[in-house]
Structure 1
C-alpha cells in the first residue's frame, strides 16, 4: 500500500522536502504500524530531513517510528541528529543496526557522537568499530574537549613531496580506503610533516610529469591539535580555507579538518551567542520537556527580577514628583523602553563584532565614539518627536522639554553602555553575550527613570 501523494517511481536523486503533509503521512503510517508505507515515505528523504523529523516529533512517536524503521538507519542520520535527543535515539536502536550505522562514518563524525554520550553508550559505539578505527577515535578523544584534535578526521590523503602528478593520480585510483570527501592531497616530508597541499582541481588539470611541489596552493596553513575549535573556525572563515592539516607537538601530521566541520563550529558559536544573548542556555532544544526548559530559563529570569528591582528603587525616590504630576507615570516607560531598544541595537553590533574579532583594542575607542555620537543624534531626533507630542497632548511646554532632554540623555547612555559593557566583560575574560543584555537593560531603565523624573522634579515641580 502506498501513501497518497507519493510516487514510487521517484528516483533517489530527486529532492523530496519534509513538508507538513509528509510528516502527517509518516505519523499516520507509524500509528497504523505500516512498515512498508513508512519506508516508502522516509527512504527518499535526505538524512538531515530525517534528523529534523526525529527532532520535531514527540518522544513516544519517535520511539514507535524507530521500532518500525530502525533497520534503515544509517550513520549520516546519527551525525545530523541534534545532540539533545541523540542519546535517546541510540538507546532505541538495536545493537546490530547501531554497529552498521557507526561503521559508515568518518572518525570525526564518530567523535562528535561520542562526546554527547554517557560512558556505557560510548563503549557500545567503540565496540562497533574495527580495531584500526577504534584506535583512531580513541586517540582523537584523548585530545582536550573543543580542540582541533576532536574536530579533525584521521583519514588523510598524503603524498611524498617528490611525487609527480601522474604518481598521485595512479595512487588515488588504486586505493579503496579514501575518504568520501576530501579536497587536497597533502604533501609530507620523510618525517610526516606537512609542507604543502595540492587541490584536486590543480591535480587533474596538470600534466602527469609535473611535480606536486610546483602546483601547491598558496596560503597553506597547519593547525595544532590542541588549538581551540573556535580558533579553527576563525582561521577557516578569515583565510577562506577549504581544508587544513592538523599536526602534533612535533609538527607531524595527525589528521585534517575540512570546511564543513569548521563551519559547523562557527554555526554553533553563533547559535550559542544568540541563546546566551537572550539569557537561554545553549543546551536548550525544541525537544526539551517543560521541566528542562524551566530549569534552563528560570535562573536568568530570577537574575533579571533582582536587576529590575533597581528601577523600582529609583522610582520610589520620586514618589512625591509622580503624585504631583500623574502624567509622568504614563510617560516615563516610553523613555526607558526606547533607551532599552537603543542599547540592544548597540549591544548586538558590539557582541557580533567581538565574536568575529573585528572589534579589538585598536579600534575600540573609535567604535565607542561612533556609538556615542549615534546615540546623541538618535536622541535629538526622538526628543523632537516626543517633546512635541508631550506638549500637544498635555498642553505643557516644559513637559515636552523634559521628555526631550531625558530621551537624549538615555539614548546616549544606552549607546555608550551597549558598546562599553561587552568590551569590559570581554576584557575581564567573561563571555560578552552571556550577561551584557542584563546589564545594559538595567542601565537604560535606571538612567531613563532617573533622568526623566529628576528633570521633572527640577523643572516641573
Structure 2
C-alpha cells in the first residue's frame, strides 16, 4: 500500500522497505507513518528493522507514542536501542517511559551507559514538567573559555553538535548556569575574549520541577525560543524549546478531550490491539450504564404519572439534553480556568456565584421557550408551566454542578476531565426527571 501523491489516500499495492525509505528521504514521513499504520504488527516490525537507523528513528518520531512503543517492544533490543539513540533525549525518555518495564530494561541494557543513565534520569520526571520536556542536547562552556576555544570545540565536535539547536550557548561555572550567549555574537568578538565578558548575566531559567502552566507563562512573557533548565543546586541540566512546550500543551488538551469522551488510559488509535481498545472504552461505559440505571430509576418511581400524562415523555429528553449542554459549558469554563491558574480548587462559592447568575438568566429564557412550545402543542398552560419550570430549575442545578465538580475533583486528587462528565450527566438527569414528574404528579394528575 502506498499513498496516492495527488489524493493522499492509501491505494492498494505492494509496500517494501525501499518504498518506506523513499517516502522518508523525500520528506514525506507522515505518508510513511500512514503506510506503516495500515500494516499488520509483524509487517511493521519487519519494515522498521529493514530501514536505515536514522530513517527508522525519523519514522518512529512521527508516530503516536503508544504505537511507537508497541513497535519498539516488537524489535530486538539492540535494534530498538540503536533507533532510540538517534532520537533527542526528551523523545527517547518519553518512549522508554511508555514501554513495559521488562522491554525498557532490556533496551537500556544494550544502550551506551551514558545515554542509558541519562534516559533513566529523564524518564523519572513528570512528563508535564520542565524536566520532562527539556532536551539535554545543548552547548555549554565554562566562563573562562575564550571565543577561539569555542570555535575550536565546535570544529572538533561538529558531528556531535550537528543536530543541536546552536542559536544560543550557555555559560557555566562548575556546572552552575551563570550566563547565556547568542552564537551570532561570537562571530563579531575578538578570539581572545573570555565568555564571561560577553555573556548575558543572570539569564532567565526555570527549575526542572516547574509545571507546564508556569512554563507557559514564562514563554508568554518572553519571546525566547528556548529556556534553560536548572536543578535545585542551580546546575544546568537542559533546555526547554518553545516548540516542545507548545506540542505538550496540544497533547494535554487532546488527552483531556479524549478523557472527557471516555477514552481512558491515553491516546487511542485504531491500529492498537482490539482487546486493549475495547477494555479502555468498556471501563468507562460500564460505569456510565450503572449511573444511567440510577437516573432511570427516578422515572420508574413515577411511572403512573408518566402513563397518565404521556406528553411528558416528549419533554423528558429535551430537559435532560438542554440541562446537560448548560452544565457542559460550565465544566469547560472551569477546566480552562484551572489549566490557566485563574481559579483555585478552594474557590467553590465564587465559582457558584458566577455560574448561578448565568444559569438563572439562561434557565428562565430556555424555560419560557420550552414551556411555550408545550402550551402551543397541547393547549394546556399547566403542562407548559411544569416543563418550563423544570427546565429552568434544572439548568440552574446543571451550571452549579458543572462549575464546581471540576474544582472538587481537582481538590481531592482526581482527574477533572474523567469525573466531571458522568457526575454531571447523572445528577442533572435525576434532578430533571424528578422535577418534571414530581411537579406533574401534583399539578397535572
TM bucket, shorter chain: 0.7 to 0.9
1:364 is displaced (CA, Å) by 5.5
* Corresponding residue of 1:116: 98
Q: Give the superposed CA RMSD.
A: 3.5
Identify which range, 405-414 or 369-378, moves more after superposition.
369-378
The reply to whether residue 347 of structure 1 matches residue 347 of structure 2 is: no
Match of 1:406 among 390, 395, 398: 390
Whether the aligned pair in 2 keeps the contact of 1:75 and 1:101 (CA below 8 Å) is yes
1:5 is displaced (CA, Å) by 7.3
Q: Deviations over 1:115-151 (max 9, x none)?
A: 222355435544554454344334445x455464454
Match of 1:28 among 2, 13, 20: 13
* Corresponding residue of 1:384: 368
The reply to whether residue 435 of structure 1 matches residue 419 of structure 2 is: yes
How many residue pairs match? The answer is: 437
Match of 1:263 among 246, 249, 274: 246
Give the 5 Å matches for 1:180-199.
180-182=163-165, 183-189=167-173, 191-199=174-182
Q: Give distance in 1, aligned partners of 2:68 and 2:392.
A: 51
C-alpha change, 1:430 and 1:123, in structure 2 (3 Å) is closer
**Structure 1: gaps of 5 or more residues:** 7-16
Whether the aligned pair in 1 keeps the contact of 2:49 and 2:79 (CA below 8 Å) is no
Whether the aligned pair in 2 keeps the contact of 1:383 and 1:405 (CA below 8 Å) is yes
1:158 is displaced (CA, Å) by 1.8
Give the 5 Å matches for 1:413-428.
413-428=397-412
* Corresponding residue of 1:154: 136
**Structure 2: gaps of 5 or more residues:** none
* Corresponding residue of 1:13: none
1:354 is displaced (CA, Å) by 1.2
The reply to whether residue 445 of structure 1 matches residue 423 of structure 2 is: no
The reply to whether residue 290 of structure 1 matches residue 290 of structure 2 is: no
Q: Give distance in 2, aligned partners of 1:218 and 1:407.
A: 59
C-alpha change, 1:71 and 1:389, in structure 2 (3 Å) is same
1:196 is displaced (CA, Å) by 3.4
Q: Give distance in 2, aligned partners of 1:388 and 1:313.
A: 28
* Corresponding residue of 2:225: 242
Q: Give distance in 1, aligned partners of 2:419 and 2:262.
A: 8
Q: Deviations over 1:250-302 (max 9, x none)?
A: 22223333233333332332222112212221333322232212111112212
Q: Give distance in 1, aligned partners of 2:176 and 2:19.
A: 53
TM-score by length of 2: 0.84
Whether the aligned pair in 1 keeps the contact of 2:382 and 2:443 (CA below 8 Å) is yes
C-alpha change, 1:150 and 1:426, in structure 2 (3 Å) is closer
1:69 is displaced (CA, Å) by 4.7
Whether the aligned pair in 2 keeps the contact of 1:340 and 1:444 (CA below 8 Å) is yes
Q: Give distance in 1, aligned partners of 2:187 and 2:332.
A: 46
Identify which range, 88-97 or 285-294, moves more after superposition.
88-97
1:313 is displaced (CA, Å) by 2.1
* Corresponding residue of 1:12: none
TM-score by length of 1: 0.81
Secondary structure, aligned partner of 2:14: helix
* Corresponding residue of 1:90: 72
The reply to whether residue 75 of structure 1 matches residue 75 of structure 2 is: no
1:46 is displaced (CA, Å) by 3.8
Secondary structure, aligned partner of 1:159: strand
Secondary structure, aligned partner of 2:161: coil
* Corresponding residue of 1:19: 8
Q: Give distance in 2, aligned partners of 1:439 and 1:326.
A: 28
Q: Deviations over 1:191-224 (max 9, x none)?
A: 32113323446x3696556976666288702313
Q: Give distance in 2, aligned partners of 1:437 and 1:351.
A: 12
* Corresponding residue of 1:273: 256
* Corresponding residue of 1:11: none
Whether the aligned pair in 1 keeps the contact of 2:175 and 2:235 (CA below 8 Å) is yes
Q: Give distance in 2, aligned partners of 1:455 and 1:407.
A: 12
The reply to whether residue 330 of structure 1 matches residue 319 of structure 2 is: no
C-alpha change, 1:215 and 1:357, in structure 2 (3 Å) is same
The reply to whether residue 220 of structure 1 matches residue 204 of structure 2 is: yes
Q: Deviations over 1:171-207 (max 9, x none)?
A: 5466423262324322223x32113323446x36965
Q: Give distance in 1, aligned partners of 2:115 and 2:98.
A: 19
Q: Give distance in 1, aligned partners of 2:137 and 2:250.
A: 24
Secondary structure, aligned partner of 1:115: helix
Whether the aligned pair in 2 keeps the contact of 1:232 and 1:262 (CA below 8 Å) is no
Q: Give distance in 2, aligned partners of 1:302 and 1:417.
A: 22
